[in-house]
Amino acid sequence: MKRYSAFAIAREAVRFHSGWERAWRSPTPKKKYKVIIVGAGGHGLATAYYLGKNHGITDVAIIEKGWLGGGNTGRNTTIIRSNYLQDPSAAIYEKARSLYETMSQDLNYNVMFSPRGVLMLAQTHHEVRGYQRTAYANALQGVKTEFIGPERVKEICPIMNIDGPRYPVLGGLFQARGGTARHDAVAWGYARACSDMGMDIIQQCEVTDVKRAGGQVTGVSTTKGDIDCEKLCIVVAGNSGHVAGLAGFRLPIESVALQALVSEPIKPCMDIVVMANTVHGYLSQSDKGEMVIGGGTDGYNNYTQRGSFQHVEETVRALVETFPMLSRLKMLRQWGGIVDVTGDRSPILSKTPLGNCFINCGWGTGGFKAIPGSGWAMAELVAKGHSPLTAEFGLDRFKEGRFIDESVAAGVAH
């Protein structure tokens, strides 16, 4: 793999950009791999990358029924934060946030990580108490956050109306090193690095069955033929229940749509991410000038990847009081992603009832921010059979009652 650099750009400019390589290979599947990962989104690609980088396992196939990064990885609002209440959650999200800091250098691919800061507004006295508690918990966890007053909120985000008649801003939980990254670039950077290590990324290849014998996984049947493996890792977000069914077990998750939209591009007016849980909305401004706006999940189970007028109206109406400038903007486009939600709003990173089969799912609305931490942890679980970062996120916690309740930290369904 040729490294990207200023010198490479200059060299290719002289020869009319005729020497650029394909970012990753599109090989024909082999008959057998040591590890098969189902799902070529951010989490699946990150798992493959850290299997190779940290554990030397490169005989890996990443199978994707559509195109690389075409699911939730390419359909989210790119927010990165780690200010979660429970210790296991804070640990894996902070691991992810720290890996985002150096990801561009590690992958030799600009993922456009922007630590612009994430501010979660407190607009009720209940939220004030909740965020103060989270700030104390974060301090004990080694996660740098602070609770700030309304004057500081206004200073950080001048376009905000902090004196709204229904929900005035009483303060906020601020994480200065939170921010955003380019979602497509994260997937592309990992894919390029995986391909360079000799891993096979196989697109347009749907898994139709999971083969097993004696309680162990032996391979998968796909639209491109049967492929054997020693270990299988399922990382397919909203389709996790379906693929788990092929493997012979059920999951305690529900699939729902999460919608978002962007406005027409405008001049820079906001250099921070703001989340308003009370009114169920959040927004930031992209590098292209669009206001990126999102809200909560749909109130019913579905697999749609489309937006809806009802949801746009509900989300924007809720935010206009705090951000009056939104009322003057036109919507550019909207979309939806299929998210998988558990009862305690925390993910599942676990072995499964099928031997040598592992699953990564249940991230709900917090999947993008966790990509590198999730990949690091799952790679360790697959390679060694145990990871400190995944220990509390096993499937068995649901029958044992060991819930990791993050319904408040994910209160904006994000």
Q: 0.85 exceeded by the pTM? A: yes
Question: Element (H or E) spanning 48, and its range?
Answer: helix 42-55
Summarize the chain as % helix, strand, coil (round to 5): 35, 25, 40
Q: Which two tokens stand for residue 4?
A: 């990207």
Angle between helices 371-384 and 42-55 (to 10 degrees): 50
- pLDDT for position 207: 97
Query: Strands 32-38, 60-63: parallel, antiparallel or unpaired by DSSP?
Result: parallel
Calculate the alpha carbon distances from 278 to 119, 120, 122, 138, 165 in Å. 13, 10, 8, 21, 14
Is the separation of the CB atoms in 53 and 191 below 8 Å? no
pLDDT at 1: 79
> Which amino acid makes up residue 402?
R
Nearest to 107 by CA among 50, 44, 69, 180: 50
CA pair distance 354, 351, nearest whole angstrom? 8
Distances (CA, A) of 136 to 98, 121, 133: 20, 17, 5
Domain ranges of the chain: 29-109+182-253+344-400, 118-179+255-342
With CA atoms as reference, report the closest residue to 252 among 361, 355, 174.
Answer: 361
pLDDT below 50 — which residues of the chain?
Answer: 411-414
Helix axes 42-55, 183-196, angle to 10 degrees: 40
Q: Domain 118-179+255-342's class? A: alpha beta
Q: Which two tokens stand for residue 42?
A: 């951010």
Q: d(Cα 371, Cα 379) in Å, to the nearest integer?
A: 12
Q: What angle do CA 242, 247, 193 make, to 5 degrees?
A: 80
For residue 201, give every residue at least 6 positions away whose Cβ sits within 8 Å of its Cβ, in sequence order, or none. 24, 25, 26, 27, 40, 45, 61, 62, 64, 68, 191, 194, 195
Fold classified for 29-109+182-253+344-400: FAD/NAD(P)-binding domain (3.50.50)
Tell me what pLDDT residue 413 has: 43
C-beta separation of 212 from 354 below 8 A: yes
How confident is the model at residue 33, as a pLDDT? 98
d(CA 368, CA 381): 20
Amino acid at 92: I
C-alpha span between 46 and 170 (Å, rounded): 39
CA distance 68 to 269: 33
